[in-house]
Structure 1
Amino acid sequence: MLMRTQRDDVDLLREVVRDDHEAEVSETVLPRRVVVHGEAAFAIGHRIGDIWHAWQEAPAEGVADRLWIASTDRSSWAAVDHDGGDEDVFTVRQYGPRRLWDEVEAAHTWWITNGRPGPERFGLSVTAEGHHQAWLDSPANSWPMP
């Protein structure tokens, strides 16, 4: 289930990615599909909160598929490319004040460290001031949701 702030729409990229953006390039071994499918995706969405994603098949020569993630304020984005080969190393490009793929990797590590919790272990509370708090197992283990 996608978080309320996640949207799957490649057209939104036109509002986010600009020609003058000089992205930082790195590599990752984290399978990019965990960001959008399964229990890890649910946990990552709760940890990061204010992102959306889009998936592109064959967006450029030499790229079999690309996962885009972007912050809802449109200030940061990341693209994770797979060349279609058998090697599970992916090229990452990140731009903006937030390093979104780094946040994804940290959230994935948190998920593993906490025993790979499923959706039934998560909760959401709203404070009297209207602030949203996500939590794992108990409201005592909470963090703010943007």
Structure 2
Amino acid sequence: MEALRRHELNFPHPMGDKCYLVDVGYPNTRGYLAPYKGTKILYHLPDFRRGQTSAICAPKGEKEKFNYYHSSLRNVIEWTFGVWKARWALLKDMHVNLPYETQINIVLASMAIHNYIRIKDNTDEAFSRAQQDSYKQ
């Protein structure tokens, strides 16, 4: 949230019709797609589960349906970032004493290589391991 308010941070805001998928703590403004809020509107994926089972309760209404897909997509994004950080240990503990431009280049290069591996290798070990770990939880 601070990045939205403090212009001196030079946070890269979405351009054109692009947007960032953000959580309930962010306002739903141009370039930032937040879920619907309300006391009777479900948002988090576990909220859609029936009791202790893994069965899904169908979202009630268009807002809950939107929130269900919004939350599902956020989970995929978070999972992908977890795999990416596991693949590149440097990202877990990025040293702030590195020049800012170097940090940007490390992120861009590692994500490009990560995406290339994902496209070219359907049996990518990092994704397989992360998928197995997610089923254990």
TM-score, scaled relative to structure 2: 0.28
Which structure's relative contact order is higher, taking Cα pairs within 8 Å and 6+ residues apart?
Answer: 1
Going by fraction, where is strand more abundant, 1 or 2?
1
If each structure's helix is expressed as a fraction of its own residues, which one has the higher value? 2
Which structure would you say has the larger Rg?
Answer: 2
